[in-house]
Amino acid sequence: MNELPEGKIPWDVLSNLVKLRGYQNNKGVIQEAAPGIDVATLDLQEIIQQIQEYYNSSNTPYLIYKADPITFPTPNPAKYLVTVNMNDLATCGAIPYGITITILLPPRTLGEKILEFQKKLSEICTKNGISILGGHSEVTSSVDSPIYSASMIGFVPPEYYIPRNPKSGDVIICSGWIGAEGTGILLTSGKEYLSTKLSEEEIEEGFNIGKNISISKKILTLNREYHEALSLVHDATEGGIYGALYECLAPFRMGCEIKSFDIPITRVTEKIAQYLNINPYKLISSGAVILICNRERVPAVLKFLNENTSGPHRIIGSVTHKGSPMNFDGQKMHPPKADDLIKGLSALKQKRN
């Protein structure tokens, strides 16, 4: 294919893109994606039946809505775009259903680039039962690099909706390796430099944990079995585990006691953080999820996670009473700032220069 002209994606290219619509067996899609069609139309009654079957519920589910872009450099933006939105839906128990995409491409973008993105997007959506309902794409001089943004909808019956209700005495579990997504991004951007600091095995390990950032299936199955044990679920994205903990508790003025020694982190993430002088606990951590659980149900939750899901699952602290301080290794926590991935990417750029 040739370079795409500025403005709307050409009709022939767009016609090929919309053929790749992700999962095709979802009930309830009345108007699907097509060139010239500006909206998606859904029959909620058909969709409700699917959700009720998964949770064995007779109640009308809530509709959950989420929007998020991908702006950091990633090896597979389509996969990351779907996964981060799907993860957020899962934190409240919602099963993902459909997605719309906005794609803004810089001038001189080749047609193959957007077609390859759409192929991977359709693959990851098909794998997770998500229908691509539509969206918008264009080439514009307003951007210097591709911007991919998504809006996703999901559904959860009221009795399986995961609340945000942390209570004094609750136990805080971290499931998954922190810094996994940031590790993958930094290796992708700085492999030439980091390969002089890390072994081939460490580089492979870093890429592997950077790919495994989905928490959706883990949380949905846990919620179906142990819903009453969950006071709050939150994935650790920008700001890392430190920022995620603050976001969990600060809105409720609840305190916590966290020990970094207990937080699951790989040696390769620690090494990269050391070489680039960044804080791994403040590094984007999609793939790691915070579970705030009723203390009495913690043994059952950990047993379920260990027997049914992969990755580490560790108790990292507890919730203290309202008005008490949020402490991380004995130090008062502060509102999260920009993700340390930005510092890491800047450090890699300086080293290349």
Closest by CA to 115, choosing from 8, 11, 13, is 13
| Nearest alpha carbon to residue 317 among 265, 266, 245 | 245
For 27-82, what is each residue's pLDDT tens digit? 888 787 777 777 888 888 888 988 998 899 999 999 999 999 988 778 789 999 99
Q: Would you state the pLDDT for residue 1?
A: 58
Provide the whole-model pTM. Answer: 0.91
**pLDDT value at 353 more than 90:** no
| pLDDT tens column, 73-97 | 787 899 999 999 999 999 999 999 9
Query: What residue type is 179 in one-letter code?
Result: G
The reported pLDDT for the residue numbered 315 is: 98
Q: Dump pLDDT digits (tens) for 235-284.
A: 999 999 999 999 999 999 999 999 999 999 999 999 999 999 999 999 99
* Residues 307-332 pLDDT 10s: 999 889 999 999 999 999 999 999 99
Q: What is the pLDDT of residue 312?
A: 96
CA distance 56 to 49: 10
Residue 35 CA to residue 55 CA, distance in Å, equals 36
Instruction: Compute φ and ψ for 352, nearest 5 degrees.
Output: -70, -35
Residue 206's pLDDT band, with cuts at 50, 70 and 90, is very high
133-161 in b/e form (b: 16+ CB < 10 A) is bbbebebeeeeeebbbbbbbbbbbbeebe
Is residue 327 within a helix (H) or strand (E), and if so which, with residue range? strand 326-328
> In sequence order, which residues have a C-beta less than 8 Å from that of residue 66 and are 6 or more positions away?
85, 88, 89, 151, 152, 153, 154
Cα distance between residue 270 and residue 72, in whole Å: 20
Q: Which domains does the chain have, with CATH numbers?
A: 7-160 (3.30.1330.10), 171-352 (3.90.650.10)
Sheet containing 62-70, strands listed edge to edge, beginning at the edge strand earlier in sequence: 7-8, 131-139, 95-105, 147-156, 62-70
282 Cβ contact list (under 8 Å, min separation 6): 239, 240, 242, 243, 336, 337, 339, 340
Angstrom distance (rounded) from CA 320 to CA 252: 11
Say what the pLDDT of residue 343 is.
95
